[in-house]
Structure 1
Amino acid sequence: MTNIDDLSSKIETFVRDVVVPYESDPRNEDHGPTEDLVVELRDLARKAGVMTPHILKSGEHVSQRDTASLLKKTGLSALGSIACNTASPDEGNMFLLGKAANEEQKSRYLERLVTGHARSAFFMTEPSSEGGAGSDPSMMKTTAVRDGNHWVINGRKTFITGAQGAEVGIIMAKAEEGACLFLTELPHPDVKIERVLDTIDSSMPGGHSQVLIDNLRVPADQMLGNPGDGFRLAQVRLAPARLSHCMRWTGMGIRAQEIATEYACSREGFGKLLVDHEGVGFMLAENQIDLQQCELMIDWVADALDRGETANVESSMAKVAVSEALFRVADKCIQVMGGMGVTQDSMVEHFFREIRAFRIYDGPTEVHKWSLAKKIKKKTLSAKS
């Protein structure tokens, strides 16, 4: 039986002592850490016994509550989640394959993801300039046409995290029966990376790519589930993946607060430590409140998932609350540190950029609020009828 508290402490020690020094490694590039840096970090994680800590040797996941305890520790560094194999999109893809793949698919695709010897990509979002699926998957333009015992897929995808360097792809496409999910080996000549986008964040291996899928032939046995199951299966991944984002980025927020607090408690200005000035001390206090609320929100959703609920509404609320709170935290940390906070001499500047992107990824705050407002309206009107 895995002792989660001991494992959580082990991960924290590994991230702080082993991973954090790599944050200044020049192999951290604009589009994420290089492949050789990823391999090096994961080798270290294996030796430390913290590789893919949330998945047991049996293949089963630990509870969402326990996952939160572990992933917050890996998130203390942007490289921690990569080293420990808890980063997006692999973490969500492993969860999906563990729930939806058949035994042959698990053997072929899932096992190498769990060991950290391969990375994956989830191909859903499409360019808005072409009217494709962004925050609204029902607008999907990518098509899948049956051809004998194969499916032929055509379309363009964008913001595909980790496509560059991935070995496993999960592609969503629209067939006559509805949305479908397909597994494919990568790289593939018919899955063409047109460009890697220059984005505000820079911590995910392979960055975020625009991809052309040009007459990709996929054997029928590489479909997840049945034709038309795509949206239903994507829901399996949805709430846990949203929540794991919150877990990892909360770890980043905690570390940003630590750095800013240390600065405020060691730097003097106008005759006293910065922390003793109300304008600074109050910001740190507000951060502590926000961080505590993030952890409570994560635990609330984790409990719902552990009870077997879909928790789509709860995870949507958490995604909004946590991403907005962490943005406030990161922003105040920069303010506390003044000029030092906006330089790359401090990791707070990097964390700020990563957390700012979180307010968009996995659904912008406004889309989640709009969806929640629709549910509020429906509930209220149905109560009156």
Structure 2
Amino acid sequence: MTAHSPSVQVLLERARRFIDEEVIPRENLRRAHERDYNLALVQELRALAVSQGLTAPRGAVADGGLGLSWAQCCAYLETAGRSFLGPGALQCAAPGQPDITTLEALATPLQRERYLRPLLQGTQRSCFAMSEPAPGLGSDPRMLSSRAERTARGWRLNGHKWFATSASVADFAIVMARTEIGPSLFLVDVQQPGFDIVRDVHTVEPFDLGGHAEIRLQDCEVPADALLGEEGKGLEHAQLRLEGARLFHCMRLIGLSSRAMSLAQQYALERQSHGARVSEHQMVQAMVADAHIELHAARLMTLDTAQRLDAGESIRHHSAMTKVFVSEAVNRVADSAVQITGALGISEDWPLSMIQRLLRPFRIYDGASEVHRSAIARRVFHQGLEA
């Protein structure tokens, strides 16, 4: 792995102590499905993290962030990801962190003050409303059906969104809608008339801090300066957001799957079976060895893509490959951890089954593996890329 400067190494050690000593001990598995309880807990932990200078790793130092490079974030977010509550506490959870990246790149000075600064300070929450029920936008961005029409005072939005992560607890949304020129992004306060939360779409994930809401936009009026970035470039802007989001997911979920395997190893060293410790059985040893191999490869792929992003390179191809590999590798690691620990692994007495449920959606979120594989192959053939 990459070498860090002394100051970054000290920061990583402080973050590790914070997660191990403050965050993980406060996880309450019996209350994993109580959103209000866990939101309050994350707010408490975030305030503590802010006081210790541990939040917003990608945020600019001038705005109160840590100013870490993408490569430095690999270790930092893996550390945060070891806990269900860690990313929220350290302000590197989706959708907030990718939205910070988007606002830093696209926001006007007024938008930075109104939306970015409160997001960095942890006083407001955001959501990203892009996906739509059929026949609207899913994996194919050409199917975007939400519309934005110019008015004398700004824009009028109409559309139907769902799986907008954290919309139910957000203060504002970044909404994608089609104008006459093309797909565009808009900043919308959730209290704005015409922005209606229909329901939360419940999923398999425990410690769900914000839900995945269904939204109706019905003649939702926003001012002219609600446009984020350039009109008609919403898909390009969303790609900027998604490439970083995929990397952040990889970093965090490597941490969570690593914790799963550590728990399984601890169990295997202590549990006796057929006259020997579980760790002495070769089939268990093979699963542990494969997990370490996969996590090592996942870390290296993620770091390589992060370094390319730091160098200003386009990472569309590499981020897609990394996302596919890491999303599948962390699931295999967690599945092996559950298998090693048997019935305890599938119970809610231990975190493993919850870790597995949190990891499974990553093969779908931010582009399903099959969609990415198709895109990877098309680029290979169209650009003549060598393996």
Calculate the TM-score normalised by the size of structure 1: 0.95
Match of 1:313 in 2: 317
In 1: Cα distance, 2:235 partner to 2:125 partner: 23
Cα displacement (A) at 1:117 = 1.5
Task: Specify the SS of the correspondent of 2:27.
Answer: helix
In 1: Cα distance, 2:319 partner to 2:205 partner: 23
Q: Which moved more, 1:77-86 or 1:59-68?
A: 59-68
Question: 1:60-86 deviations in whole A, cap 9, x for unaligned?
Answer: 742110111211110011210011110
Task: Specify the SS of the correspondent of 2:82.
Answer: coil
Match of 2:123 in 1: 117
Q: Which runs of 4+ in 1 moved over 3 A?
A: 25-28, 30-35
CA contact (8 A) 1:32 1:203 kept: no
Q: Which moved more, 1:33-42 or 1:108-117?
A: 33-42
Instruction: Verify: 1:103 aligned to 2:113, yes or no.
Output: no
Match of 1:23 among 5, 27, 30: 27
Match of 2:345 in 1: 341
In 1: Cα distance, 2:136 partner to 2:200 partner: 18
Question: 1:4-47 deviations in whole A, cap 9, x for unaligned?
Answer: 11111111111111111222165532668643223222122223
State the one-letter code of the partner of 1:356.
R
Match of 1:150 in 2: 154
Task: Specify the SS of the correspondent of 1:303.
Answer: helix
In 2: Cα distance, 1:114 partner to 1:25 partner: 28
Matches of residues 73-88 of structure 1 in structure 2 within 5 Å? Answer: 73-88=79-94
Q: Which moved more, 1:182-191 or 1:246-255?
A: 182-191
For the structure 1 residues 33 and 120, does the alpha-carbon distance in structure 2 shift closer, same or farther, using more than 3 Å as the test? farther
Match of 1:169 in 2: 173
Match of 1:248 among 229, 245, 252: 252
Calculate the TM-score normalised by the size of structure 2: 0.94
Matches of residues 22-61 of structure 1 in structure 2 within 5 Å? Answer: 22-24=26-28, 27-29=31-33, 34-59=38-63, 61=67
In 2: Cα distance, 1:38 partner to 1:117 partner: 12
Aligned residues with identical type, % of pairs: 36
Match of 2:377 among 358, 373, 380: 373
In 1: Cα distance, 2:42 partner to 2:167 partner: 15
Coordinate RMSD, CA, aligned: 1.8
In 2: Cα distance, 1:275 partner to 1:79 partner: 30
CA contact (8 A) 1:161 1:204 kept: no
Matches of residues 195-344 of structure 1 in structure 2 within 5 Å? Answer: 195-344=199-348
Unaligned residue ranges in structure 2 (runs of 5+): none
CA contact (8 A) 2:294 2:329 kept: yes
In 1: Cα distance, 2:319 partner to 2:348 partner: 33
Cα displacement (A) at 1:226 = 2.5
In 2: Cα distance, 1:111 partner to 1:198 partner: 30
CA contact (8 A) 1:54 1:70 kept: no
Task: Specify the SS of the correspondent of 1:164.
Answer: helix
For the structure 1 residues 289 and 274, does the alpha-carbon distance in structure 2 shift closer, same or farther, using more than 3 Å as the test? same
CA contact (8 A) 1:81 1:87 kept: yes
For the structure 1 residues 140 and 184, does the alpha-carbon distance in structure 2 shift closer, same or farther, using more than 3 Å as the test? same
State the one-letter code of the partner of 1:342.
I
For the structure 1 residues 2 and 96, does the alpha-carbon distance in structure 2 shift closer, same or farther, using more than 3 Å as the test? farther
In 1: Cα distance, 2:26 partner to 2:270 partner: 25
CA contact (8 A) 1:52 1:116 kept: no
In 1: Cα distance, 2:173 partner to 2:26 partner: 28
Instruction: Verify: 1:184 aligned to 2:188, yes or no.
Output: yes
Unaligned residue ranges in structure 1 (runs of 5+): none
Question: 1:168-221 deviations in whole A, cap 9, x for unaligned?
Answer: 210000011001100122233422111111101133422111111111111011
